[in-house]
Amino acid sequence: MTEPEPSPTEAPLPSERVALLRALSGLSVVAAVVAAALLLAAIGLVATDMLWRNLLNRSIAGTTEMSSWLMAAIGWLALSYTLRCDGHIQVRILADRLPPRARHGLSVVISTLALGFMAVLVWAMFDRWEYFRDTGQTGVETGYPTWWLYTVVLTGAALFALQFAVRLIDDVARWHRARHYSVGAS
């Protein structure tokens, strides 16, 4: 029995796409490193605030607000890297029982829905970011402008959406290969 001809999706990627994928991968890594640094900053801020409260009977103004913003930024910045590494929790009870073609088709549907959801979310977040920037809204406790804090959250969400776009392209290629091989095997 001869091996089926490789599908066009298995051809080497164009250099432009490789460069784009490397850039997105690099941005995801940078975002994860920034998230780790922000996590250390949040831990340091909260720990210092606790020490000041217990030792000096004082607290650091704005700790609650800043730690809330930091946690939001940490979560959003880490999402694209986690998706890139396939580190999100997956429930695969149904998918593992499907034949390869159906499993890859299900992945295409899920990635399409996730990308659509993230596109709408990023659009809404951008609208909110513009509102914060244009109105000069500031934090209640700190008085810091909220638009620059929201920029970090928006950046993380946009990277997550782009990573879903890459995942969708890969899922379609896998589905196409599974379809090609199942047709060639019959």
In the chain, where the domains are located = 14-185
pLDDT given for residue 38 in this prediction = 96
pLDDT given for residue 90 in this prediction = 78
pLDDT given for residue 2 in this prediction = 40
pLDDT over 70, % of the chain: 89
- pLDDT grade for 149, boundaries at 50, 70 and 90: confident
Q: What is the DSSP letter of 97?
A: G
Cα 62 from Cα 144, distance rounded (Å): 10
List the structure tokens of 101: 């073609």
- Cβ-in-10-Å burial (0-12, 13-18, 19+) of 173 comes to middle
- pLDDT grade for 1, boundaries at 50, 70 and 90: very low
Question: Is residue 137 within 8 Å of 147, Cβ to Cβ?
Answer: yes
- How confident is the model over 116-124, as a mean pLDDT? 97
pLDDT greater at residue 92 or residue 41 = 41
- Helix (H) or strand (E) run with residue 6 in it: none
Question: 154: how many CB neighbours lie within 10 A of its CB?
Answer: 18
146-185 and 15-56 helices, crossing angle to 10°: 140
What does the pLDDT look like over 49-76, one tens digit per residue? 999 999 999 988 889 999 999 999 999 9
pLDDT given for residue 13 in this prediction = 63
User: What does pTM read for this prediction?
Assistant: 0.81
Cα 142 from Cα 49, distance rounded (Å): 15
pLDDT given for residue 86 in this prediction = 86
Q: In the predicted model, is pLDDT for residue 15 greater than 50?
A: yes
Residues 6+ apart with CB under 8 A from 155: 31, 76, 77
pLDDT given for residue 76 in this prediction = 96
Q: In the predicted model, is pLDDT for residue 174 greater than 50?
A: yes
Per DSSP, helices labelled H in the chain are 15-56, 63-84, 100-135, 146-185
